[in-house]
Amino acid sequence: MHQYYLQRLFPAIKDVTYLNSCSYALGNIKAQKAIETITNEWVNGQFDFMKAESYGEIARDYFANFIGVDKHEIAMTSFLSNASGLIANQLSPTVDKNIVVAECEFASNYYPWVQLKNKGYEIRLVKPHNGILDLEDFNKLIDKHTSLVAISAVQSSSGFKIDLKSLAQIAHKNQALIFVDASQALCAVPLNAKELEIDILASVSYKFLLGVRGQTYMYIKDELIDKFKPMTPGWRAGKNPMKSFYGPRVEYALGASKLDTSLSWFPVAGELASFELINEIGLENIYKKNQTLIEYTIQSFEDHNIDYQKYPEENCSTIFIIPVKDEEKIKNRLFDNNIEASFRQGKLRIGMHFYNEKEDIDRVCQLLK
């Protein structure tokens, strides 16, 4: 992946050390052009919503390919909490069931499950130890009364990447479903939903998928699609959305698109350009570059004696957490050196992506020394 090629696509990398992809992706020229085109059409009175709708369908197809599933298993909505809430809200009231969820989950994949207490569910929380979520802790809490296990593929606050396949197998051994929030993982680290035996997976697109805020995709395994009903259906939930503008007939789509909510047209246009870009570069090439960056970061932090949150190799992601003594001082240093990163729970969080280079890590090391 040539640096000149990346600089043409992501012009900011010439001046900025962008290590904040875990908050939102760095904007790219192709998405910007696509948004410019669609907004120009809008201003010129030439906006065609049918064309924007068709972008959504192509984006759905790309997303399905990215995670190795079929397009009919993908629903589109706006935010992660729409997806988790949609699933949580249809679990039936109970007197003896439980939900297992990590207590460090990002709120959008936490609040909807905790709310199920109101329907009689016991909420069993898994505690991380220095950022590590131990499968054994899940194993102890998941039992024949567990309805669902909710987990992030990569934790937003710690960068910890869990062994999803083993967790899915523990859930399935107990007839529980597994719901995965892949917002911090997709396009950053390899993830094939079928191979990992995931039941339901949702992801926002505006992080490592290079999307624009406003779209979330949700995979529901084919065998489970009939189990879930539209909760907030609009015309997009129809079997043929373009013929579903009005009543009296109600005929929902047969696939996961029955759970669609209306598209955000302009974000979808930008996002499609980004998905095309990912496809052009190739997911495998992105994963390879990211793996190189992960290994280089670990080696550099070790060489410079930088205190960072350490995990076994297989649990490392493109997100690293560095405890800092003086948050304000580090923030100022980052600002002065044109380094974009984020802080979570008083710790520095860096999120790398394929448009980063080893020199970006060198800069962080110099600053933290």
Ligand X SMILES: Cc1ncc(COP(=O)(O)O)c(C=O)c1O
Contact footprint for ligand X (CB under 6 A): 79-81, 106, 108-109, 152, 156, 181, 183-184, 204, 216
Q: Residue 21 or 244: which CB sits closer to ligand X?
A: 21
Residue 348, CA distances (Å) to 132, 232, 302, 320 in order: 17, 38, 17, 8
Closer of 205 and 244 to ligand X (Cβ): 205
The rounded distance, in Å, linking the Cα atoms of 296 and 274 is 26
Nearer residue to ligand X within complex by CB, 221 or 349? 349
Q: Which is nearer to ligand X, 244 or 318 (CB)?
A: 318
Shortest Å distance, C-beta 111 to ligand X: 9
> Shortest Cβ distance from residue 154 to ligand X (Å)?
8
Residue with tokens 């109101």: 118
Residue 290: CB minimum distance to ligand X, A: 17
Q: How far is the CB of 184 from ligand X (least distance, A)?
A: 5
DSSP 180: E
CB 220 within 8 A of CB 200: yes
**37-71 burial string, b = 16+ CB within 10 Å, else e?**
ebeeeeeeeeeeeeebbebbeebbebbbebbebeb
User: 28 vs 109, which CB is nearer to ligand X?
Assistant: 109
The residue among 83 and 294 lying less far from ligand X, judged by its C-beta, is: 83
Radius of gyration of the chain (CA): 21
Nearer to ligand X, 97 or 353 (CB): 353
Question: Both tokens of residue 209?
Answer: 């998928």
**Smallest distance from ligand X to CB 71, Å:** 22
Q: Where are the beta strands (DSSP E) in the chain?
A: 17-18, 74-77, 98-102, 122-126, 146-152, 177-181, 200-204, 216-220, 319-323, 339-340, 342-344, 347-351
Q: Let me know how long the chain is.
A: 369
The answer to whether the beta carbons of residues 125 and 149 sit under 8 Å apart is: no
Minimum CB separation of residue 301 from ligand X in Å reads 22
- Least gap, CB of 348 to ligand X (angstroms): 16
- Burial bucket for residue 204 (CB in 10 Å: 0-12, 13-18, 19+): buried
Q: In what order do the strands lie in the sheet with 216-220?
A: 74-77, 216-220, 200-204, 177-181, 146-152, 98-102, 122-126
The minimum distance between CB 304 and ligand X, in angstroms, equals 28
Smallest gap from residue 107 Cβ to ligand X (A): 8
Q: What residues pair up with 77 in beta bridges, in sequence order? A: 216
Q: Which is nearer to ligand X, 80 or 191 (CB)?
A: 80
Q: What is the DSSP letter of 200?
A: E
Find, among 26, 32, 24, 31, the residue nearest to 14 by Cα.
Answer: 26
Least distance from ligand X to the Cβ atom of residue 183, Å: 4
Cβ proximity to ligand X: between 28 and 157 the closer is 157
Nearest residue (CB) to ligand X, 79 versus 287: 79
Task: Tell whether omega for the bond before 267 is within 30 degrees of 0, i.e. cis.
Answer: no
